[in-house]
């Protein structure tokens, strides 16, 4: 192995792999990606993999819309020979309060400005879309057919294999344990398999990103919150779309092979706890069986836990360390990093290769927490 690279990326989730791919596409191929487990062993491999364009802020709606366009073509875009499993069965976002319903009307205006094909539905129409839905307590819903979900393992592999073909090297089961700086710049990374030099290091370690950034004196305000999900036995097709509520903090979808995947937001202290809990199973099943009573007949086959890297305004932080120039953190995706990865990777790669972008990367700097220019988002769990 070489001793030095132009760029080292820490973290082999969808964010690290998509940035590696976009950089290589722009001619920066002397890259080493270091991952402490296997690719997708972090949040990416544990996520619901939902992709929605129904956001409330123009920024998020645009990032999600442009990312969706890439997901629609990811196999061709990356030269991947398998299917990435995109299924555009739509997202039905349900409102449970008058305030939420009013906000949904505002969100639609933002989405329509960008040309996103979303619309409001009444409860009768919601039941036509999801016949087994219990609409009790709901005010209404919005729907976008082009929303859906994809396979997070294949999407990440598509980016990783595309990057590999362009010359990017991958070092898995290798942990970054230290960072070295020289003259106010990043100089390299210490790993469990030795030291590697690099003038640019990109920290895509999700909930572990603050710990790495702290090694170069950077304080990233991200907390780690456990989120759990479960999957049922497969059954015949009962619904085609994702059903999601911000107010009650749940989502549920049926995968193409018939299993239902679902999750419900936690109410717990920050932690690095990756264990599944009985409490989640109980609460999730109670809520989901009320929303979709037909689920009462299904057996749960598997349950797991992952982490959200929650930033103060629930939006990503993309920042260069002040005391170690060339060290970038790309983290804080707060539960929606999978669906925005394609566009964020382009933004980051354009920035590093000094190419123009229609988005201003500075918006994502954590400076916003000092200036008060937060990236506010009403449509987030
Ligand atoms: P990760 O996939 O966590 O990758 C970071 C990698 O860094 C890990 O593989 C880790 O092993 C590695 N690493 C950490 N420290 C080190 C080190 N010191 N050295 C080397 N490697 C290191 N998003 C959506 O868009 N839609 C959804 O429906 C959705 N549902 C979710 C459901 C759940 C239950 C969870 C937990 C998350 C969900 N998310 C969803 C969020 C999404 O999974 C994340 O935002 C996204 O996967 C973040 O990708 P990442 O590459 O930043 O992080």
- Do residues 140 and 238 share a domain? yes
User: Which tens digit of pLDDT belongs to each residue from 21-32?
Assistant: 999 999 999 999
Whether 68 maps to a domain, the answer reads: no
Q: What is the CATH number of the domain that holds 164?
A: 3.50.50.60
* Predicted confidence (pLDDT) at residue 380 exceeds the cutoff of 90: no
User: Does residue 66 form part of some domain?
Assistant: no
- The answer to whether residues 306 and 331 belong to one domain is no
Residues 6 or more apart from 167 whose CB is under 8 A from it?
A: 24, 29, 30, 31
Please count the other Cβ atoms lying within 10 Å of the Cβ belonging to residue 231. Answer: 15
Q: 95 and 195: one domain?
A: no
pLDDT band at 267 (very low <50, low <70, confident <90, very high): confident
Average pLDDT, the chain: 97
332 falls within a domain: yes
The protein residue whose alpha carbon is closest to atom 8 in ligand 1 is 42
Contact partners, residue 53, CB within 8 Å, separation at least 6: 61, 64, 65, 68, 111, 116, 118, 144, 146, 147
Q: Sheet containing 260-264: which strands, arranged edge to edge?
A: 118-121, 140-144, 91-95, 242-245, 250-254, 260-264, 223-232, 300-310
- Per the structure, the count of domains in the chain is 2
pLDDT band at residue 379 using 50, 70 and 90 as cut-offs: confident
Length in residues, the chain? 381
Domain for residue 271, yes or no?
yes
* Same domain, yes or no: 122 and 104: yes
What is the whole-number distance in angstroms between the Cα of residue 44 and the centre of ligand 1?
4
**Residue 183 maps to a domain:** yes
Within a domain: 55: no
* Predicted confidence band of residue 256 (pLDDT cuts 50, 70, 90): confident
> How many C-beta neighbours within 10 Å does residue 371 have?
8
Domain endpoint, select from 310, 339, 356: 310
Closest listed residue to residue 336, CA positions, set 375, 365, 373, 301 = 375
**In a shared domain, residues 228 and 141:** yes
Point out the ligand 1 atom lying closest to the alpha carbon of residue 205: 7
Q: String of b and e for 97-115 (b: at least 16 CB within 10 Å)?
A: eeebbebbeebbebbeeee
Of 170, 206, 332, best ligand 1 pocket probe by most atoms within 8 Å of the beta carbon: 206
Q: Would you say residue 120 has pLDDT above 90?
A: yes
**Ligand 1: centre distance to CA 361 (Å):** 21
Asked whether residue 56 is assigned to any structural domain, the reply reads no
Question: What is the rounded average pLDDT of the residues 88-105?
Answer: 97
* Same domain as 119, residue 189: no
C-beta 381 within 6 A of ligand 1: no
- C-beta of residue 158 within 8 angstroms of C-beta of residue 25: no
Percentage of the residues of the chain whose pLDDT score is greater than 90 = 97
The answer on 215 and 184 residing in a single domain is yes
Distance between CA atoms of residues 316 and 29, nearest Å: 25
Domain boundary among 279, 310, 341: 310
Instruction: Report pLDDT digits (tens) over 155-213.
Output: 999 999 999 999 999 999 999 999 999 999 999 999 999 999 999 999 999 999 999 99
Task: Kindly report the protein residue whose alpha carbon is nearest to atom 36 of ligand 1.
Answer: 306
Q: Residue 253: which CATH number?
A: 3.30.9.10
Q: Containing domain of residue 211, as a range?
A: 4-46+153-222+313-371
Report how far residue 48's alpha carbon sits from residue 229's, in angstroms, rounded to the nearest whole number. Answer: 8
Say if residue 231 is in the same domain as residue 142.
Answer: yes
Q: Is the CB of 208 under 6 A from ligand 1?
A: yes
Report ipTM for this prediction: 0.99
Q: Atom 31 (ligand 1): residue with closest C-alpha? A: 47
| Shared-domain flag, residues 130 and 163 | no
Based on the fold, state whether residues 285 and 330 are members of the same structural domain: no
Tell me, using a 6 A CB cutoff, whether residue 250 lines ligand 1: no
CA dist 247 and 253 (Å) reads 17
- The set of residues, in sequence order, having a beta carbon less than 8 Å from that of 169 and lying 6+ positions away, is 1, 2, 5, 31, 32, 33
User: Residue 275 pLDDT > 90, yes or no?
Assistant: yes
Ligand 1 centroid from CA 301, angstroms: 23
Residue 351 reports pLDDT greater than 90: yes
Last residue of a domain, one of 295, 310, 325: 310
Rounded average pLDDT over 142-155: 97
Position 210 scores a pLDDT of: 98
Mean pLDDT of all residues in 372-380: 89
Instruction: Pick from 38, 42, 65, 70 the residue to mutate for probing ligand 1's pocket: most ligand atoms within 8 Å of its CB.
Output: 42
Same domain for 140 and 230, yes or no, is yes
Is residue 39 within 8 Å of residue 305, measured between CB atoms? no
Per-residue confidence (pLDDT) for residue 104, from 0 to 100: 97
Please say if the pLDDT value at position 51 is more than 80. yes
Q: What is the pLDDT of residues 295-337, one digit of tens each?
A: 999 999 999 999 999 999 999 999 999 999 999 999 999 999 9
Q: Stretch 140-152: mean pLDDT, rounded? A: 97
Q: Which atom of ligand 1 is nearest to the CA of 330?
A: 52
Kindly state whether residue 358 falls inside one of the protein's structural domains: yes
Question: Ligand 1 pocket, 146 CB below 6 A?
Answer: no
Predicted pLDDT of residue 1: 84
- The answer on pLDDT for 13 being more than 90 is yes
The pLDDT value given to residue 155: 98
Cα dihedral 193, 194, 199, 202 sign: positive
> What is the distance in A from the centroid of ligand 1 to the CA of 285?
25
- 331, 182: one domain: yes
336 Cβ closer than 6 Å to some ligand 1 atom = yes
CA 25 to centroid of ligand 1, rounded, Å: 23
């Amino acid at each position: 192995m070489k001793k030095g690279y132009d760029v080292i990326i820490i973290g082999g989730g969808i964010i690290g792999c998509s940035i590696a791919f976009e950089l290589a596409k722009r001619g920066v191929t002397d890259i080493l990606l270091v991952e402490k487990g296997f690719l997708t062993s972090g949040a990416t491999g544990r996520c619901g993999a939902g992709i929605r364009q129904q956001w409330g802020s123009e920024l998020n709606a645009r990032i999600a819309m442009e990312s969706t366009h890439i997901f629609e073509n990811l196999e061709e875009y990356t030269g991947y020979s398998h299917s990435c499993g995109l299924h555009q069965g739509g997202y039905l976002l349900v409102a449970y309060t008058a305030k939420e319903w009013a906000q949904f009307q505002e969100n639609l205006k933002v989405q329509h400005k960008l040309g996103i094909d979303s619309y409001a539905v009444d409860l009768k129409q919601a039941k036509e879309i999801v016949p087994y839905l219990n609409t009790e307590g709901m005010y209404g819903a919005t729907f976008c057919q082009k929303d859906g979900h994809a396979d997070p393992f294949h999407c990440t592999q598509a980016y990783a294999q595309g990057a590999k073909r362009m010359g990017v090297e991958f070092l898995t089961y290798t942990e970054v344990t230290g960072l070295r700086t020289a003259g106010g710049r990043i100089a390299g990374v210490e790993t469990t398999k030795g030291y590697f030099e690099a003038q640019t290091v990109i920290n895509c370690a999700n909930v572990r990103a603050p710990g790495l950034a702290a090694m170069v004196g950077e304080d990233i305000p991200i907390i780690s919150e456990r989120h759990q999900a479960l999957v049922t036995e497969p059954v015949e097709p009962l619904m085609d779309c994702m059903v999601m509520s911000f107010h009650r903090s749940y989502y549920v979808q049926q995968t193409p092979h018939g299993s239902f995947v679902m999750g419900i937001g936690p109410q717990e202290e920050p932690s690095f706890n990756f264990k599944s809990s009985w409490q989640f199973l109980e609460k999730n099943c109670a809520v989901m069986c009320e929303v979709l009573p037909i689920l009462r007949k299904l057996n749960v086959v598997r349950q797991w836990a992952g982490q959200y890297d929650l930033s103060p305004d629930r939006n990503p932080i993309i920042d260069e360390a002040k005391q170690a120039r060339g060290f970038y953190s790309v983290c804080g995706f707060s539960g929606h990093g999978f669906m925005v990865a394609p566009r964020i990777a382009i933004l980051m790669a354009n920035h590093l290769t000094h190419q123009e972008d229609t988005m201003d990367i500075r918006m994502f700097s954590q400076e916003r927490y000092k200036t008060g220019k937060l990236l506010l988002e009403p449509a987030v769990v």
